A and B are shown apart, each in its own frame.
Chain A
């Protein structure tokens, strides 16, 4: 059973550039959440996608945008990169079952380490 996968593993960009990170959810999951983890901090929620729509959003600027594809995979885009965007970006997948007991279990991928110079 494939877990959550993310690509690339590492990425180096310069200020002002744009970046796209990719995530494939755990098999059978339909919901993808993105988190930003700065060094020495806990993950912070960016947004969540379900049924190809943004379902929830954390306190992040519009420079952060996303997309979910029909196969449930997802992309995180960050425009006009700032030095402060350097972090580990984590993708987590979960399952929303309409009309059934729900689970909040979110499974995390290994993350993409983004460095902005």
Chain B
């Protein structure tokens, strides 16, 4: 049973455009939602994370929007750059430190110049 559903599977965006990746979850016990970025041959790197007590969190060009009632959250990459081309994973876990992360299947982003 997949607990975190991610879409789209792949995304092509022009340089300077906005990239949007969506995730939906089922388990209402989840209360920590990170996004990871992974380049080929590398491990995932934490990009930004949010807890459900806020509806939006922004760090530089990256923004998470969170809709608790819809059980959905999304990543927005503003002014997308070719260097942002990577695979992005949403994940979810409970608040207790170190609890297992449940990952989505990933979105491959290509930013064309």
Contacts and interface: CB of A to CB of B under 8 A. Distances in A.
* A contacts with B: majority SS: loop
Contact of A102 (B49, B96, B106): B96
Contacts of A92: 43, 101
Nearest to B100: A45
B25 interface: no
B interface, size bucket: 20 to 34
Contacts of B8: none
Interface in B76-106: 89, 91, 93, 95-106
B17 interface: no
B105 A106 contact: no
B104 A102 contact: no
Interface of B: 6, 32, 34, 36, 41-46, 49, 89, 91, 93, 95-106
B49 A45 contact: no
Interface string A13-55: 0000000000000000001010100001111110010100001
Given A96-B98, A104-B95, A106-B101, 16 more contacts: A33-B101, A41-B106, A42-B91, A43-B44, A43-B89, A45-B101, A58-B100, A90-B43, A96-B97, A102-B97, A104-B32, A104-B96, A106-B46, A108-B36, A108-B43, A111-B43
Contacts of B98: 31, 33, 48, 50, 55, 94-96, 102, 104, 106
A40 B32 CA distance: 24
